[in-house]
Amino acid sequence: MRDQGMFSIIEKEEQRQKQNVELIASENFVSKEVREAQGSVLTNKYAEGYPGKRYYGGCIHVDEAERLTIQRALDLFKAEHVNVQPHSGSQANMAVYNTILNPGDTVLGMDLAAGGHLTHGHPLNFSGTLYNFVPYVVNAQSECIDYDLLEKQALEVKPKLIVAGASAYSRIIDFKRLREIADKASCYLMVDMAHIAGLVATGAHPSPIPYADFVTTTTHKTLRGPRGGMVFCKKEFAKKLDSKVFPGMQGGPLEHVIAAKGICLYEASQPEFKEYIDQVLKNVQVMVKGFKEAGFRIVSGGSDNHLLMVDVLDSIGMSGKEAEKLLDAAGITCNKNTIPFDTQKPFVTSGIRLGAAAMTSRGFKEKEFEQVTEWMIEVLKANNEQTCAAIKEQVVALTSQFPTEAIL
Ligand code: PLP
């Protein structure tokens, strides 16, 4: 019997996704094929172990699926080794830490307010409780990574690992320079490219693969795949890394998700995906321009990637929390976010983070992003319910012209 209780909730969420303008920088709309693989019979299969070395029988076909995903990941990112089993980005990061660190080891990780992720050493996260993470911040003027300062800090702190990569950083990251710093400080380098993986796949952002000992990623952000993680590493770490994922920290791999990862990697290798990423970058520039012209302060003065950070507190005296709520009421979904040296608590924040990956998947181009930026500015400046309601009607009218069926 169909579970109407649950399916009616899913239908409501589908409706929300269709109607709203989705600007959460870590979200995307996956293809029908990615969803098909995730909802496939592969979900029924146990396959502890790795292709050719499983602890269960009947793995002949999931072996083939996992091998194909592995090969596609290696080809797309030109890497020596990959583990496609981590269930999430956080677990991908945990797998690397378990491979090279002992509890208490010192690690340099980007401060959360500067754009880093929870798993880069936040005190409430396993990373911050198990290891001695020392945060690095961005330059107070440029709000960009200060590589000279980072080098000085690395030589002082003597970490065993430097973790680079971020959740809320809109500038190109210089992986070559980070490698030089890691070499000078005689430590490992891990790059968490979760946010920019799609850009790296098409060459729109330099690849960390040639420089880092380990590269972790999620598959569900700009890469536009299923929710999940992957870890790339140099051959020398392959065996240990694999053993830390299984049996180290996971049981049976999610073979339906692994197959969906394979499909997303196939899609990301197609010429249309490069066009898609190029359009994402153009659309972000439209938002940057619109907000700047309206007098808003953009963190670091702009963006080189798929997201921008708007300092709403400095610009219009509104917290990120209030801005998120107002925009939500107008059918525009984004998230509050701390900005470098934020004076507000993480649940309040001074900024909002806006990304173009999801709506570009739905077909939004410069024209639509110009319109949405105008609406956001109007909503934030007016700060009242009537404006939100009036804009919401227009948002619904616009999104209805970009049916999710094309992708969903
Ligand atoms: N790393 C970065 C840079 C992220 O932004 C995120 C998620 O937002 C993660 C890791 C964690 O991914 P997950 O939510 O799949 O654990």
Which ipTM was obtained for this model? 0.98
Task: Determine the angle formed by the axes of helices 255-268 and 271-293, rounding to 10 degrees.
Answer: 80
- Taking the CA of residue 165 as reference, the ligand 1 atom at the shortest distance is 3
User: Nearest residue CA, atom 10 of ligand 1?
Assistant: 89
Residue the block writes with tokens 């299984």:
246
**CB 187: neighbour CB atoms within 10 A?**
22
Strand blocks (E) in 131-267:
132-136, 161-164, 188-192, 214-218, 229-233
Percent of the chain with pLDDT over 70: 99
Q: Which domains does the chain have, with CATH numbers?
A: 33-269 (3.40.640.10), 272-400 (3.90.1150.10)
Which residue in 18, 67, 177, 227 is the catalytic one? 227
Compute the distance from residue 117 Cα to the ligand 1 centre, in Å.
Answer: 7
Is 328 catalytic? The answer is no
CB-CB contact of 171 with 198 (8 Å): no
Q: Is-catalytic flag, 183?
A: no
Which residue, among 111, 92, 397, 32, has the nearest Cα to 253 in the 3D structure?
92
Q: Please say if 314 is a catalytic residue.
A: no
Residue-wise pLDDT for 339-391, tens only, equals 999 999 999 999 999 999 999 999 999 999 999 999 999 999 999 999 999 99
The residue whose C-alpha atom lies closest to atom 13 belonging to ligand 1 is 89
User: From CA 383, how far away is CA 341, in angstroms rounded?
Assistant: 26
Model confidence pLDDT, tens digit, residues 110-138 = 998 889 999 999 999 999 999 999 999 99
308 neighbors 302 (Cβ within 8 angstroms) = yes
CA of 295 to the centre of ligand 1 (A): 31
Compute, in degrees rounded to 10, the torsion defined by CA atoms 302, 195, 125, 244: -150
Check pocket membership of 353 for ligand 1, CB cut-off 6 A: no
Confidence of residue 408 (pLDDT cuts 50, 70, 90): very low
pLDDT at 160 over 80: yes
Is the torsion defined by CA of 309, 333, 199, 400 positive or negative?
Answer: negative
